[in-house]
Amino acid sequence: MGDFNAKVGEGRIDNIVGPYGLGDSNERGERLVDWCREKDMLVANTWFPIHPRRRWTWSSPGDRSRNQIDSILVKRRLRNSVQYAKAMPGGDCGSDHNPVVCQIKLKLKAFKKAKRSPRYQFEALKKDEIRERYNVLVKNKFETLVAVTTAEEKWNQLKDCIQEGIEEQVPKRARKEHKKMDYLRNLRLDGKVKTGQTLS
């Protein structure tokens, strides 16, 4: 968001300014184009073949001249998402500028909930029987491992033995069932709110 008063002018400039600008460019417009080039952006409201009255965004006092000095800038990778961008002459926005609007169609990716790793009842290892089975299992697994040379490989093998022992011998915690909150429990049948005493 910024008040640049930049005129990029009519005529295409690379993939930044489209062929449907308005009028001549000025120095601020050239600086805006350079900035867009650096930030990989484009001037969205110069890419759509719309009527000139939907292009100009400001008129001088007495309506002597009309200029396109307000722009919507978007990342170039989102260019195909922009459905249209245009000025809205007569829009009441408390300014001598016409508001510029843009419609964008986005495809949002579905949010995948991360899979929780199971929780184990490690306190079960306090029981002699479970602890003994776990120790024997880990020891047997470790003794059958292939000899390795680096400390990292040894650590990874030991870690895998411990993890497999946990998975095979330590019971998992039961998942808690989340009961839906009963929002009606504090309401009386007649619709009055219960606050600890009967409402009259």
Among residues of the chain, what percentage have pLDDT more than 70? Answer: 82
**pLDDT per position as a tens digit, 172-195:** 887 665 454 454 455 444 455 444
Question: Per-residue pLDDT for 200 more than 50?
Answer: no
DSSP character string of 67-94: E-----EEEGGGGGGEEEEEE-TT--SS
Q: What angle do CA 15, 20, 26 make, to 5 degrees?
A: 80
**For residue 25, is pLDDT > 70?**
yes
- Which band of pLDDT confidence, cut at 50, 70 and 90, is reported for residue 37? very high
The region, left, alpha or beta by phi > 0 then psi within -120 to 50, assigned to residue 183 is alpha
pLDDT, one tens digit per residue, over 90-143 is 777 667 788 888 888 888 777 777 767 678 888 888 888 888 888 888 888 878
Mean pLDDT score of the chain, rounded to an integer? 78
Please identify which residue in the block is written with the tokens 């990778």: 77
Q: Which of 47-61, 63-77, 144-158, 186-200 has the lowest mean pLDDT?
A: 186-200
Q: Rounded distance, CA 144 to CA 146, Å?
A: 7
Locate the domains of the chain by residue range.
Answer: 27-104, 110-188
Decide which of 75 and 98 is more confident. Answer: 75
End-to-end CA separation in angstroms for the chain: 57
